[in-house]
Every structure is written in structure tokens, then in C-alpha cells.
Structure 1
Amino acid sequence: MARLRLSANRATRQHDDLGTSTSMELLGSFYPAQDIVVTRLDQIPSAVTEYGARVAADRPRESFMIMISVPRGQRRPAGFEAAYRNGSLGTNAWMYEIFKCPLPMPDDHGVRMWGGPHTPFQFADCTPLWPDKTPDEFSSLAEGHIGLYGWLRAANARVQRLSQCTHTLLDVATVAELRAAYAARRHPLSVAQDALRAAPQALAS
């Protein structure tokens, strides 16, 4: 049995031409720490998820990383160091992954953040796309995945613009196609263009 301490710090991960770096705010008190007791490594991710969800609820729309410290005299569960180092314990799930030099997209913004289950999608020079308080047609499709939700809204806006508001994203693409496109990190404009080209019968109706 091991007693571990979970704590949260504001942090972002940035990608640029020189590589990847993580910036963390170490001074100040962002959120109270929590002690957990575990006997096995596989008990840690669920504790991290519960703690992270509480932090996110109390500090909404903040980018943070969860740290796990081992008090003196406590034994680490087998495999802890490797799992903590490679992120498989879920400690980075609420941290923004920012692309400082987004790939250019003709006639549109580049993507600054693709987001994830707990982090938003964002275009360069635009505000992040968060779910509305009132559910819409993309809420159930995203199944709580914040990044996918924002990406779907962005793609839908581009389908409507290109079709002059005669069609929506779900008129010209399947859910499976959209999930695959997001997983492949395809730009919403490119997805909208391809979907409209592939659905001439919809445009003709």
C-alpha cells in the first residue's frame, strides 16, 4: 500500500520548430492537493481522473498538469516511474497542446490547438471552441469529447458557408467519417470541401 499526493499546476505544452516544451507555473497555490492510497499501479489513473475532473470543475477552462509526488518513506507501486513519465496515468489530460506556428490553410486560419477529451479545439487568432451550456446537435456526437465538439462546430460552420447555408455538416458526412477526420487532424475547411464535393446529390436537392 502506498500513499501518494496529487497536485495541480497551471501548465501548457508548446510545439514549435525547435521541438516540444512544457511551461509550468510552480509558484502560488492553484488548487489544493489531495492524498490517495493505492496498492496497485492500475488504481492511479481513476484517482487522477477524479481529481482532475474536480479541478476542472472548480477552475473551468484552465490548462493544468497533475503532479504525483511520493512522500518520504512511501513505496512506489511497481511500474510507477515509467507510467508517470510516459503520461499513461492521465496526468496531462487537461493540459493545452499549443502549436505556436500552425500550418497555414488557404482562405482560413491554421489550427492552434486540436484539443482532446478535456481540452478545446482552437484556430490561430481565435478563441477556443467550448461546448455551450445548452446541448446542440454536436453534443451527443462528441460524447463529452471537448476537442471533437469544437472541431465539429468548426467544420459545420464551413459547410454552411460554402453551401450558402443550404446544408449542414451532418447532411454531407457520416459520424464515422467525421471521427476519422478529426483523429487524423484534418483541417475543418478541408473536410468541408471534400464532403461537399463527394455529395453532389445533396447539393442538387
Structure 2
Amino acid sequence: MALNRRAFVAAALGSCAALAAPGLLTGRASASSYFNGVTQDNGFRYRQTNFEKIDPVWRRQMVKYFSSEPPGSIVVDTNNHFLYVVWENNTALRYGVGVGREGFKWYGRARVDRKALWPRWVPPPEMLKRQPDLPRLVEGGAANNPLGPRAMYLYRDGVDTGYRLHGTLEPWSIGQDVSSGCIRMFPEDIIDLYQRAPKGTRVLVLEHLGTSAG
């Protein structure tokens, strides 16, 4: 399954904009309820997710999972908003994720060829044309950096696809079609995944649900 033409076009347009999930929140008070204090990580601070506010289905958990991918692989089910790390014996560690909105979805195989702690974010020119008010560069650890505490960069045949697995500033967006193509995760979950998935990890993003999960 290859990354299709629309996938690379979407990548060229920039895939990691911080986009609010419309209709999910009614104001600042609603947003603040999704956080529970702050914590330190590698010299930076981030707002902890209030998981009591999160539907249990999106919380990290071990599940039964049947896949032809080898153990250690990452499989993203964009239909159901889950990311799986495949384990042995038909099991997997499952994370809830936010995925690309309509027109920015992508599918296919890739590989984690770069990883970054507290990555900086540079919107590409095409994105700045659509959203000229965006900053030109956001340093890692900044409160408005949409990548959060970690980013894992997806490559195909040695070429950066433009897509990332990364954190989010909007925990309410997990389980939604909200991004410009990147796979967003709770900050706590991208930190966990970053530790589990070394460079070279295989990634498969499913166009249609091709495996069964529990």
C-alpha cells in the first residue's frame, strides 16, 4: 500500500497545524477542564491531561489485536482513531489518536527515520499562505508549539513524507478528524510511544480497517 498522490500533496501543504476541533468546546473554562496541572520533562513543562475527562476508549491500553505486521510495528487505524504497537500473541498496545480531516487524510507505509525531543515547529510556506497569522517558527517547549513534547518523523524510501506522530495541545481532539494529516496523541502517550519505538520502526496507516481489534 503506497502513499498516494493526494498524500504527498497534503504533505507539501504542511501536516502539523494546530487546528481546533470545531464544536467540541464552548469556551476557555471547558478547555481548562481537560488539563490537570503541569509536569516537568527534560527541562520543559507541559500541561498534564485530565484523563478523568477522557472517554476510556481513548486511553492507552492492552487489547487483543490480529495483524500480519511483525511485532514492534506501528499500525494506525484512521477510521477508528487508534494507533497500535503490535506485540506477540495477537495483542497490541493501543492509543487513541487524532487524524487528518477530510482532504488531508493519507494512507500507506512509512518508517520512523527521525525522532526529536521537544521539537521546534516551522510551518511550511503553503500553510502560511492559508494561515498568514501563524508564527514563522515555534521553539521546542513553547506553550504554543503544536508538536508537544515529542515528534516522530515518517519517511518513505528515505524521503520525508511531511507527516509526523506527535503530541497535541488539544486533548479533546483525540478521536477526531482534525489535523492536516499528522497523527496526534496525548502528550503522555507520545512520550510513551517515543520510548517504545526506535528509529527504523515500520509504520502502516490503514485506508480501510483491514485487521480486527478488541
Q: TM-score, normalised by structure 2?
A: 0.24
Relative CO higher for 1 or 2, CA cutoff 8 Å, sep ≥ 6?
Answer: 2
Q: TM-score, normalised by structure 1?
A: 0.25
More strand by share: 2
More helix by share: 1
